[in-house]
Copies of this chain bind each other. A is one copy, B any other.
């Protein structure tokens, strides 16, 4: 059975990295959930906004496949830009929708992890005073409502660069939120912590850029492997990404790329047919 991961939180889990600034991740063993169905993953995965872009889940999934080459992994995208921790409490529509989508997805997949990133929208107005309880409530509610009491959850810290420029200026208390995320990430069983330390932002001062998102996905995966007590030593972030990027594309992946170019009107039907035949003949 396919494995799956649920991705939840706000925009930096959905992804706002610019699409063309990093190498593509295309892998016919990575799927994404749309309209109650699985399709081969193509970024943006979590289309909560028309400006959605690169998030951490593609490189997480690709890193996971390096350790599980015979498996398939499917991403259930339920993150919502700008959402607050209060909007993720278990009686709220965002939470209910994530549970509903995941339960349908679990009819033919097995959930192996939940990836969570949220907090920018709570980094002001002393909202941190209630944040720890609310965060724990959300994580525990995912486990209880999915009836998976020990499902690994990886949560990530907020960027150190918040509060300095652009839209990030509103995040005046992100350090206090980060203290709580670190505490929760280090204290609850089967909850792991991915650090955003040193990651860089888009010019808007709030969204992780694509290069950072690729790295962040690897950090989420490394935190996951720690939770799972994998014995093998982990390569560096850069080496793992290099492994991912250097994978030779399969016939299905070449076809996916060709179909995308044609469907977007970037190549003519003649070029399409020629390339189609070359790919089909295994060239």
Contact = CB atoms under 8 A, between A and B. Distances in A.
Contacts of A49: 34, 39, 42, 263
A105 to B, nearest CB: 10
A74 B190 CA distance: 41
A269 B169 CA distance: 13
Interface in A16-40: 16, 18, 21, 34-37, 39
Contacts of A53: 264
Given A50-B43, A260-B51, A203 B268 contact: yes
B97 A50 contact: no
B264 A37 contact: no
Interface in A143-158: none
Contacts of A122: none
Nearest to A265: B18
Contacts of A18: 264-265
B36 A94 contact: yes
B97 A36 contact: yes
Interface string A183-204: 0000000000000000000111
20 contacts: A18-B265, A21-B265, A34-B80, A35-B80, A35-B94, A35-B97, A36-B93, A36-B94, A37-B93, A50-B260, A51-B260, A51-B263, A93-B104, A202-B265, A203-B268, A204-B262, A204-B263, A204-B269, A205-B269, A207-B263
